[in-house]
Structures are given as structure tokens and as C-alpha cells.
Amino acid sequence: MKNILVLNCGSSSVKYELLNIKSSSVLAKGLVERVGMEDAVLHYHFLKDDSIYDDIKLVRNIPTHREAIQFIIRSIEDDEYGVIEDMNDIYGIGHRVVHGGEKYTDSVYITKEVKNDIKDYIPLAPLHNPHQLAGIEACEELIPDHPQVAVFDTAFHQTMPEAAYMYAFPYDMYKKFGIRKYGFHGTSHKYVSQRTAAILKKSPEDLKIITCHLGNGASICAVKNGKSVDTSMGFTPLAGLMMGTRTGDFDPAILLYIMNKEALSLSEANTMINRHSGLYGVSGVSRDFREVIEKCHNGHKRAKLAVDMFAYRIRHYIGAYAAIMNGVDVLVFTAGIGENSVELREIVCKDMDYMGIELDKEKNEACGAGEGIISSAGSPVRVMCVPTNEELLIAEETHNIIESKKEK
Ligand code: ADP
């Protein structure tokens, strides 16, 4: 059976999905949260009777990622609510790994060398790579015969030209510390751009697409002929758009100024730009876009400012990316805010007719959080909503890499 287990290990959580590759269906999915605590929780949704999902919640002491993964395995093969007989029904495991540096331009079969590299990139992604490595090692121990594949967030962006990824620091900084733009959310931008081409029955090779991944973390990508040529996140996922709690782009001298004025330590400054800024910092309301926009409707001035700034920066990048690609064929919205907020899509696309973006109000409303074209019939640029599905792409790449390894 061609089932792939997709794992996304965070600092205190493990997200998982078990997918059948033939039918692209999800057999079970969920999340273990509060890993490291005595009252960790497993949320488990499983497919029952072909179409209906049932869900359960179990509380346990889960000290490490190893126990979390063991808990997930036990659940999917459980006599009562499991969805497979045993682990022989699993073909392979796909891991989301945040940083693959400059070396990994694609997903890869996990070997000792790959694990060493993931470890070497820990300084570039200290909040993610250690936990993803822990997940890989736990699987090696728990299900040793199962092949594993790493799918990197940074891989899709490794096609950016040098002029796009270099920062104008002394060149030494690049050589010594790898200071350059890496970009993130690559799996989502890749999936969404490929899905967009498939919906339009075109080859990605023939399209210039701007994908807007707007969730708690947000980034935009310019995809020309199927390849990422620029993206808004940078050396870290702080750069680019304004986000739930992150600043996005700002004049770096501001940080030096505030650190000096407020006598902030490095760690306090880091907290300010990553956790106390963005929609939350400006509005003072919440990091959650739904709550901010609701306050905005009630006349809350700072909430309105936050929404205006959020949309302004998206428009700014759309203009920039149309310029660097010498035009754009499709503008795509995805992730929590992009998929769900009809209103945000309308604000972003307002007065963009000069560059051929003409949103159709009715189509936008009718599309809601679904998949479809939301521009007017005559709009030179197609505008679309395409829900992202990173897990499906991870499962497909895991399957393909295992297959091709077998053929060799
Ligand atoms: P991440 O995966 O980066 O944590 P998501 O892609 O789940 O984030 O997106 C979360 C964001 O989506 C939140 O800001 C949330 O308010 C927003 N969101 C979810 N549903 C809606 C909705 N119906 N309308 C507007 N925003 C929404």
C-alpha cells in the first residue's frame, strides 16, 4: 500500500498526516501539542467509512518527539480507530525540514550525510532544524526499515539569481556566515504554483505567477517558468511582508536605535521584532487577522492601520515582482488569510487595473475559501484562490524519491 506518513516537528509539537498516494486521500491527520509536558495532547482525526472523519483527543505524558511519534504510530495502527493494519502499510516517511542551505535544491533521501547537513544548518534555523532532526532520528529508531525523505522549505527558492539573493553587505559576510536570502514557505509556493498551472491547463514553464502565502507567517514569491526567481522572506523568515507578530521589512538602523534607547539585550530585541510586532504590535488587538479586521469594522483606528499596512506591503511586492518578471499572468492567494479573507483579496486588488488586475467582486465572494478564478473574464492578469497543501506535495515528493532510488 502506497501510504506516506508526513511529519512536521516543531519545538513543542508534531503535526502529522497519513496520505494514500494513489488516491491523494488523507487517512489520518492531527497534531501532538505540548511535547515535553506531562499533559501533552494528541489530536487525531481519522477517516471512517470513506468520507467521514471522526476525531479523538488523548492526553498523555510525552517528554520528547520520540514519544510523540510513537504515540502517532500507535494511533494509526490501533485496533479500534487505526487506519492501517501495521507499519508494513507505510511506504515511507516525509519530513518537513525548514533549512537546507544552499546545498539542497530539491527534496532528498535521508542518509547520514543529509542528517549531518541538517545539523550543520542549525545556526541558520535554530528554532526548527533541531526538532526536525530529532523527528528523523526518532523514526530511524522506531521504524528502522522505513525510508525517509527530507523536504526543505528553502529548496524551491534555490533557483533565485545571485542578484536577487545577495545582500549588499561586505562580500566576506556571505563567505564567512552564509549571509544571503534563502526564502521560506517554498513547499507551499511550489505546490500552489504547480496547482495553478494545472487548473489553467498550462505548463508552469509558460507562466509568470505571483503567489501570496498569507498566514501567520506570510511571504510572496515570483515564479517564472516554474522556478522561484525571488521571494519576500530572506536570511530568516522575518523579512518581507508584515505578519501576525513579525515586522517584515524595516530599516535595520531602527533596531540599533531602539536597542540603544531602551537598553535592549539581543534576546529582547529579537522578541520585539519576531513576537511583539506585525498585526499584533501595530493594532494592539491580536496577531489573528480575523480579530484585527473585526475591530477594524468597529472603527478601531490602529486595527485599521494594521490592515492597511498589511495590504499595502502585499501590493508593494506584487508591483515589484511584476517588474522583475517583465509582467505577470496569474496572481494567486493562499494560506489562512489568502484563502479565507474575501475582503483582504478585494483590498489588495483595488486600483490595480493599470497592471491588468481586475478582480470580479461576485466571483471573489462566491469562491470564498475554495479553489477558483476570481478575476473578471477580460482581466489580462488572472487572479485566483488556490488552497495550499504542503502535506500532499511532501507525500508526493517522498514517494517519487523512494521510487527512483529503488529503480537505481
Ligand atoms: P500558519 O500556518 O502560518 O500558522 P495559517 O495559514 O493557518 O497560519 O493562517 C492563520 C491566519 O489566517 C490567521 O491570521 C487567521 O486569522 C487567518 N484566518 C483564518 N480564517 C480566516 C477567515 N475566515 N477570515 C480571515 N482570516 C482568517
Would you tell me the crossing angle of helices 289-297 and 342-349 to the nearest 10 degrees?
A: 70
Is 216's C-beta closer than 6 angstroms to any atom of ligand 1? yes
**Cell numbers linked to 78:** 490501533
Whether the predicted pLDDT of 50 surpasses 70: no
Residues tagged active-site: 153
Is 72's C-beta closer than 6 angstroms to any atom of ligand 1? no
The answer to whether residues 138 and 228 belong to one domain is: no
> Residue range 2-12: average pLDDT?
94
Is 32's C-beta closer than 6 angstroms to any atom of ligand 1? no
Ligand 1 centroid distance, CA of 396 (Å): 25
Q: What pLDDT was estimated at residue 408?
A: 77
The answer to whether residues 117 and 219 belong to one domain is: no
Domain CATH number, residue 292:
3.30.420.40
Q: What pLDDT was estimated at residue 126?
A: 86
Ligand 1 centroid distance, CA of 217 (Å): 9
Is 340's C-beta closer than 6 angstroms to any atom of ligand 1? yes
Ligand 1 centroid distance, CA of 387 (Å): 12
The answer to whether residues 147 and 32 belong to one domain is: yes
The string over 190-228, giving b where at least 16 C-beta atoms fall within 10 Å of a residue's C-beta and e elsewhere, is bbbbbbbbebbeeebeebbbbbbbbbbbbbbbbbbebbb
Would you tell me the crossing angle of helices 390-407 and 186-199 to the nearest 10 degrees?
A: 90
* pLDDT over 90, % of the chain: 92
**Which H or E run contains 9?**
strand 3-9
> Residue range 363-375: average pLDDT?
97
Residues making up the chain, counted from first to last? 408
The answer to whether residues 220 and 298 belong to one domain is: yes
Structural domain includes residue 187: no
Residues whose CB falls within 8 Å of the CB of residue 83, separated by 6 or more in sequence, listed in order: 18, 27, 28, 46, 47, 76
Is 10's C-beta closer than 6 angstroms to any atom of ligand 1? no
The string over 124-160, giving b where at least 16 C-beta atoms fall within 10 Å of a residue's C-beta and e elsewhere, is bbeebbbbbbbbbebbeeebeebebbbbbbbbbbbbb
Q: Taking a C-beta distance cutoff of 8 angstroms, is the pair 129, 121 a contact?
A: yes
Q: Which atom of ligand 1 is nearest to the CA of 388?
A: 6
Q: What pLDDT was estimated at residue 407?
A: 81
From 31, 340, 344, mutation site for ligand 1 pocket: most ligand atoms within 8 A of C-beta: 340
> Residue range 330-348: average pLDDT?
98
Rg (CA), the chain: 22
Is 297's C-beta closer than 6 angstroms to any atom of ligand 1? no
Nearest to 215 by CA among 371, 96, 364, 334: 334
Name the domain boundary from 152, 173, 192: 152
Name the domain boundary from 86, 118, 152: 152
Q: Collapsing DSSP states into helix, strand and coil, what is residue 352?
A: coil
Q: What pLDDT was estimated at residue 127?
A: 85
Q: What pLDDT was estimated at residue 338?
A: 98
Q: What pLDDT was estimated at residue 370?
A: 95
Ligand 1 centroid distance, CA of 300 (Å): 20
From 13, 15, 216, mutation site for ligand 1 pocket: most ligand atoms within 8 A of C-beta: 216
Residue nearest to atom 12 of ligand 1 (CA): 336
Q: Which atom of ligand 1 is nearest to the CA of 335?
A: 6
The answer to whether residues 9 and 146 belong to one domain is: yes
**Cell numbers linked to 208:** 509568470
Q: Collapsing DSSP states into helix, strand and coil, what is residue 356?
A: coil
From 337, 346, 385, 386, mutation site for ligand 1 pocket: most ligand atoms within 8 A of C-beta: 337
From 127, 246, 282, 290, mutation site for ligand 1 pocket: most ligand atoms within 8 A of C-beta: 290
226: containing domain: 202-390
Q: What pLDDT was estimated at residue 46?
A: 87
Q: What pLDDT was estimated at residue 55?
A: 86
The answer to whether residues 140 and 252 belong to one domain is: no
Is 286's C-beta closer than 6 angstroms to any atom of ligand 1? no
Structural domain includes residue 180: no
Q: What tens digit of pLDDT does each residue of 67-118 get?
A: 999 999 999 999 988 999 999 999 999 999 999 999 999 999 999 999 999 9
Structural domain includes residue 217: yes
Domains identified in the chain, total number: 2
Name the domain boundary from 127, 152, 177: 152
Structural domain includes residue 171: no
**Cell numbers linked to 306:** 494594521
Structural domain includes residue 69: yes
The answer to whether residues 14 and 140 belong to one domain is: yes
Dmax over CA atoms of the chain, in Å, equals: 63
Average pLDDT of the chain? 95
CA 29 to CA 53: how far, in whole Å?
Answer: 10
258 alpha-carbon distance from chain centroid? 30
Q: What tens digit of pLDDT does each residue of 273-322 get?
A: 999 999 999 999 999 999 999 999 999 999 999 999 999 999 999 999 99
> Residue range 122-131: average pLDDT?
90
The answer to whether residues 114 and 212 belong to one domain is: no
The answer to whether residues 142 and 208 belong to one domain is: no
Ligand 1 centroid distance, CA of 307 (Å): 14
Q: Which residue has the higher pLDDT, 52 or 240?
A: 240
Structural domain includes residue 105: yes
Whether the predicted pLDDT of 159 surpasses 80: yes
Q: What pLDDT was estimated at residue 207?
A: 98
CA 233 to CA 236: how far, in whole Å?
Answer: 7
List, as one string, the DSSP characters of 202-254.
--GGG-EEEEEEESSSEEEEEEETTEEEEES--SSTTSSS--SS---S--HHH
299 alpha-carbon distance from chain centroid? 32
Structural domain includes residue 118: yes
Q: What tens digit of pLDDT does each residue of 163-214 get?
A: 999 999 999 999 999 999 999 999 999 999 999 999 999 999 999 999 999 9
Structural domain includes residue 196: no
Is 290's C-beta closer than 6 angstroms to any atom of ligand 1? yes
Residues whose CB falls within 8 Å of the CB of residue 127, separated by 6 or more in sequence, listed in order: 11
**Which H or E run contains 108?**
strand 108-109
Phi, psi at 301, each rounded to 5°: -65, -45
The answer to whether residues 255 and 371 belong to one domain is: yes
The answer to whether residues 123 and 264 belong to one domain is: no
Is 214's C-beta closer than 6 angstroms to any atom of ligand 1? no
The answer to whether residues 216 and 307 belong to one domain is: yes
Whether the predicted pLDDT of 346 surpasses 90: yes
Q: Taking a C-beta distance cutoff of 8 angstroms, is the pair 388, 335 a contact?
A: yes
Is 334's C-beta closer than 6 angstroms to any atom of ligand 1? no
Would you tell me the crossing angle of helices 342-349 and 301-324 to the nearest 10 degrees?
A: 60
**Choice among 48-52, 61-65, 215-219, 257-261 with the minimum mean pLDDT:** 48-52
